[in-house]
Amino acid sequence: MNNCRRIDPETLKQVANLAAQYKGREDMLVEVLGQVQKIACNSVPEEVISVISKEMGIPKAKVYSVATFYAFFSVQKRGKYVIRMCKSAPCHIKGAQEVLAAMEKFLGIKVGETTYDGKFTLETCECLGICDRSPAIMINDEVFGPLKPEDIEDLISKFE
Amino acid sequence: MKVTINNQVIEVQEGMTILEAAQQIGIKLPTLCHHPDQDVKAHCRVCVVEVEGQRVLQPACSFRCFDGMVVHTNTERVRKARKMVLELILAHHNQDCLHCARNQSCELQTLAAHYGFNEENRFPLRVRGEGIDMSSPSIVRDPSKCIACGRCEWACSQYQAVHVLSRKHRGFETYFSTPFDMPFDESICVNCGQCVQACPTGALTIRDDTEEAWAAINDPKKVVVAQVAPAVRVNIAEALGEESGTISVGRLVTALKMLGVDYVFDTDFTADLTIMEEGTELIERLTNGGVLPMITSCSPAWVKFCETFYPEQLGHLSTAKSPQGMFGAIIKEWYSKKIGKTPQEMFSLSIMPCTAKKYEAKRPELGRNNYQDVDCVLTVQELAKMIKSANIDFGALPESEFDKPFGLGSGAGVIFGATGGVMEAALRTVYEIVTGKDLENIDFTMVRGLKGTREATIQVGDLPVKVCVTSGLANARKIMELIKEGKADYHFIEIMACPGGCIGGGGNAYRNWAKISARRKALYKIDAEKLPVRQSHKNPAIKEFYQDLGVKPGEGIAHKLFHTHYTDKSHVDI
């Protein structure tokens, strides 16, 4: 997966192949969306939803509805890496705000934005369930913590 | 099963909800997300009641009665909870009531009035969604007034199987919208207006074209010619506060004249014309091996549905225009010449039960050289508004007759307004033309009714003609799938987009099945009791008209004026 500025035709073809395996399987929609996000820039933008809808035979409005309901799906294009800062109480007490500010400063973006090169998207999320390691963040599927603001530069620089 | 509601013991049936049980003793609990025609949703919680033994308040719309249940619908706790629910809903509902199309017909406004909001809302106003979607010729969508009840989505998916409206986001951000908030006219919306009929607030309303109509009426250079669809005569009185199913055709003509319309004609006439053209086409297809089954093309939302979802099946559609389209062509191309006017000097106004007719009037096939055959379409709701604003007391009006020469329609044309009507009208004529014999009984009751899909086989001469009647696009979709699989051995199919036919159309007063049933009875009453001619081909005005044109149905100028073609619209994202 390259840095994500646009979805290329090759990716759309992969999405189509994946979705086609579950034709008519409305119950598999969440699973498909999850797998598609991994290959399509951490997001399910309009062109991707159209392909899923067509291949699975589910109305676009329904796919869109499910995709906007779950916080882990995004219909806005996101970066190659989605960084999620936990905003629940334990992390908050242990200094999540400072960690978040450090990330915003290092990446040069605010929460909800994506870096210009399409590499990182910064988000907040609900409890990650690792309060013993608070304040914690999650980068794609991996969790990190406890973090201090000064750890951020080294940590994020590891992601290519 | 015995249930106690507010100290009254009543006998209820198994499976009944508290809402239904309460209705039996004259308690009308408040509802917003619940619609009598739809499944239970229990989204809004405004109908909560206290059930003894239950820790929390329960929604009356979904909670089923059990034996010995004790319910209180009006305790302090219940009243407080309902008021809280309303306050929360109002806190994200754009409250420009005076400027809203649903002013005085809004269900939320009514409840707010009942519960008395004398003090300022405790919660700050924060509305969701951005911008009003005015792109559709039929429907206006204002997300700031959406209360996320889900009734539009239900109508769009369960009745119509169009699936253009769906729930978007969650929690506070939830509202109902098209995918990616795409404008209606770029979406797969078929303009049927069933979402408007379902919406309790002003989030989905009919596009208001009354100003355009007023401008034409007030323009001394324009000759305003109105056509009135069959279903309007049993709907307009209801929209003006009278009982459902009130027949008011004479008063309707008077009202239109008082508004300043120059000629008032009856779309019933072109309904008869449709039977002549479509009937001839059917006989032609039956005898010369044309594409069968042939499907009716009167319902513009159905036509758009077919073009969008089943473009490969367009050959099944009759090429006959809808009655509105035919009348438009007559007014602009034929009647204008009769009265010595140019088509541009004529203002062709149609009064319809239908929001999709607004879209149909704008189709390029139904116009030529920079003008359209129908200039403006007003729904029943809009006409009711014009009548009110013109200070006309509809109840006190005398009756008048339609203008000649297009004022005489048959009973067959009138029943076009109900599901099964076009089929029955066609059978009444086709049978007699094919066999050359008069029908003993012209009532084809087997195609009548409000059941979603009905089938019948009628012996016409040597041929057993197998017909099917369906209304509601979800039912139509099932028939189309059968056709696609080659399993539909029908000869002729009638499809109406709206459940119940035109009397259930998106432009009428707000629907439910009880009202539609009353409107349906009224239409068949007009057919059976009020009209001297009950078969299209026996209508003297129709015979005269074809003589004037100098052709037979389906030929020459009749083919040019009264037939159309369809376009593949499948490129639109589904």
Q: Which of B365, B517, B521, B525 is catalytic?
A: B365
Q: What is the pLDDT of residue B131?
A: 87
Q: Does B281 qualify as catalytic in the annotation?
A: yes
Q: Which CATH architecture has domain B211-562?
A: 3-Layer(aba) Sandwich (3.40)
Q: What is the pLDDT of residue B237?
A: 96
Contact B412, B429 (CB under 8 A): yes
Residues 53-112 of chain A with CB under 8 A from chain B are 53-54, 59-65, 68-69, 75
**CA distance linking residue B63 with residue B125, whole number of Å:** 31
Q: Which two tokens stand for residue B110?
A: 């009514």
Answer yes or no: do A61 and B180 touch at CB < 8 A. Answer: no
Closest-CA distance, B162 to chain A, in angstroms, reads 8
Chain A partners within 8 Å of B168 (Cβ):
64-65, 68
Q: Does B365 qualify as catalytic in the annotation?
A: yes
By C-alpha distance, the chain A residue nearest B164 is A61
Looking at this protein, which amino acid is placed at residue B420? G
Q: What is the pLDDT of residue A1?
A: 46
By C-alpha distance, the chain A residue nearest B166 is A61
- Residue B372 burial (10 A CB sphere; 0-12, 13-18, 19+): middle
Q: Does B544 qualify as catalytic in the annotation?
A: no
Q: What is the pLDDT of residue A40?
A: 87
Looking at this protein, which amino acid is placed at residue B236? I
Answer yes or no: do B168 and A64 touch at CB < 8 A. Answer: yes
- Spans of chain A below 70 pLDDT: 1-6
Q: What is the pLDDT of residue B572?
A: 59
Answer yes or no: do B573 and A53 touch at CB < 8 A. Answer: yes
**CA distance linking residue B94 with residue B102, whole number of Å:** 12
B2-90 has which CATH code?
3.10.20.740
Strand boundaries in B425-558, DSSP class E:
453-460, 463-471, 492-496
Q: Which of B321, B332, B357, B515 is catalytic?
A: B357
Chain A partners within 8 Å of B165 (Cβ):
61
- Please tell us whether the domain made up of B97-206 is placed in CATH 3.10.20.600: no
Q: Which of A59, A62, A64 is the closest to B180 by Cβ? A: A64
Residues 166-195 of chain B with CB under 8 A from chain A are 166-170, 178-180
Q: What is the pLDDT of residue B483?
A: 94
Q: Does B424 qualify as catalytic in the annotation?
A: no
Q: Does B360 qualify as catalytic in the annotation?
A: yes
By C-alpha distance, the chain B residue nearest A56 is B574
Contact B339, B196 (CB under 8 A): no
0.95 exceeded by the pTM? no
Domain residue ranges of chain B, discontinuous segments joined by +: 2-90, 97-206, 211-562
Alpha-carbon torsion (B543, B545, B550, B552), positive or negative: negative
Answer yes or no: do B164 and A61 touch at CB < 8 A. Answer: yes
Contact B149, B41 (CB under 8 A): yes
Answer yes or no: do B169 and A54 touch at CB < 8 A. Answer: no
Q: Which of B278, B382, B432, B494 is catalytic?
A: B278
Answer yes or no: do A68 and B163 touch at CB < 8 A. Answer: no
Contact B83, B115 (CB under 8 A): yes
Contact A36, A21 (CB under 8 A): no
Q: What is the pLDDT of residue B574?
A: 62
Q: Which CATH architecture has domain A81-157?
A: 3-Layer(aba) Sandwich (3.40)
Q: Which two tokens stand for residue A101?
A: 């500010």
Domain residue ranges of chain A, discontinuous segments joined by +: 9-69, 81-157
Pairing of strands B48-51, B69-72: antiparallel
Contact with chain A for residue B473, Cβ under 8 A: no
Q: Which of B177, B244, B318, B410 is catalytic?
A: B318
Q: Does B357 qualify as catalytic in the annotation?
A: yes
Q: What is the pLDDT of residue A7?
A: 79
Chain B partners within 8 Å of A46 (Cβ):
179-180
Contact with chain A for residue B157, Cβ under 8 A: yes
Contact with chain A for residue B557, Cβ under 8 A: no
Q: What is the pLDDT of residue B412?
A: 94
- Each residue's pLDDT, cut to its tens digit, for chain B (574 residues) gives 999 999 999 999 999 999 999 999 999 999 999 999 999 999 999 999 999 999 999 999 999 999 999 999 999 999 999 999 999 999 999 989 999 999 999 999 999 999 887 778 889 999 887 789 999 999 999 999 999 999 999 999 999 999 999 999 988 889 999 999 999 999 999 999 999 999 999 999 999 999 999 999 999 999 999 999 999 999 999 999 999 999 999 999 999 999 999 999 999 999 999 999 999 999 999 999 889 899 999 999 999 999 999 999 999 999 999 999 999 999 999 999 999 999 999 999 999 999 999 999 999 999 887 899 999 999 999 999 999 999 999 999 999 999 988 988 999 999 999 999 999 999 999 999 999 999 989 999 999 999 999 999 999 988 899 999 999 999 999 999 999 999 989 999 999 999 999 999 999 999 999 999 999 999 999 999 888 899 999 999 999 999 999 999 998 899 999 999 999 988 656 6
Answer yes or no: do B166 and A69 touch at CB < 8 A. Answer: no
**CA distance linking residue B515 with residue B261, whole number of Å:** 29
